[in-house]
Copies of this chain bind each other. A is one copy, B any other.
Amino acid sequence: MDVNADLAEGFGRWELGDDTALLDIVSSANVACGFHAGDPRTLRRACSGAAARGVAVGAQVGYRDLAGFGRRFIDVDPGELVDEVIYQIGALDALARVAGTAVTYVKPHGALYNTIVSHTAQAEAVVEAVRRFRPGMAVLGLAGSEWLRLAEQSGLDVHREAFADRAYTPEGTLVPRGRPGAVLHDAELIADRCLRIVRGRPIEAVDGTPLSLSPDSLCVHGDTPDAVEIARAVRRKLTEQGTVIEPFAPPPTGPVGR
């Protein structure tokens, strides 16, 4: 099973999250690409840390919106979005290669992630960008999203994630943030849920209904000390119980020169 988290989300003087701690927990690092967060030095440092630990580097592409941290929908022209996504993947990939690894997958961030669950034109744009960057490249997203449907059609290598600390509706969608119980906080309970998911057993939806998820990756967070503790508990539980934490899109093992 893969475990993924967002990294490199600081910018210049501003730090966010504990990248070093996360790199010892996850198998896949969604590294910001500079448009919503992440200056080049922070990107390279995250890539170097990932390379040293065999953690896969994914391009966490987002809207061009530092002020909004990529969390606000922008009605960007799909043609421009294609080129913006290619630009971001290429920039990160160059730094990843300098760090001895390479970008092996793409996971959109924030409002772009949410938008392309249903916005066909922007979903097509992201698929087009990834496909142009490298045909058949791995992508990570939400099960049932428009963009993964299109990605699959385009021959991309599609992977689906579940959220370790989020409650689910009986239909398998996330309980929206802000609703009671939407976010789970108990590290033990979360770790147990993750173990059930990994073993293919149903978890409880928010109303108690049994719900089966079969993700390729578990998403954890690292932007608060509590979140890091939860992520650590998830990893400990899974590995203690015999699950191997490994990337769905493994980093290159040989030289990465151009």
B74 touches A44 (CB 8 A): no
* CB closest chain-B residue, reference A96: B90
Chain B residues near A90: list those with CB within 8 A: 90-95, 97
Kindly state the separation between the CA atoms of A75 and B76 in the bound complex, as whole angstroms: 12
B-side contacts of A89, CB under 8 Å: 94
Whole-angstrom distance between the alpha carbons of A229 and B22 in the complex? Answer: 29
A189 to B198, alpha carbons, bound, how many Å? 56
- Smallest beta-carbon distance A155→chain B, Å: 14
Chain A: interface residue count, which band? 35 or more
Q: Which of A74-117 contact B (CB under 8 A)?
A: 74-77, 79-80, 83-84, 86-95, 97-98, 111
Could you say which of A5-13, A161-169, A214-222, A231-239 contacts chain B? A5-13
**Copies, count:** 4
Bitwise interface map of A from 236 to 258 toward B, beta carbon under 8 Å scored 1, else 0 = 00000000000000000000011
Q: Report whether B71 and A74 are in contact in the complex, using a CB–CB cutoff of 8 Å.
A: no
Cα–Cα, bound, A43→B132 (Å)? 15
Encode A58-85 as 1/0 by CB contact (under 8 A) with B.
0000001111110111111101100110
Contact among B14, B16, B44, B69 for A83, CB-based, below 8 A: B44
List, in ascending order, chain B residues with CB within 8 A of A95's CB: 83, 86-87, 90
Chain B residue contacts of A79, Cβ below 8 A: 41
Closest-by-CB residue of B relative to A64 is B67
The answer to whether the Cβ of A39 comes within 8 Å of any Cβ in the partner chain is: yes
Nearest residue (CB) in B for A111 is: B75
Q: Which residues of B contact A14 (CB under 8 A)?
A: 10-11, 14-16, 69
Q: Say yes or no: is A134 at the interface (Cβ < 8 Å to chain B).
A: yes
Contacts A11-B66, A14-B10, A73-B75; is A40 near B87 (CB within 8 Å)?
yes
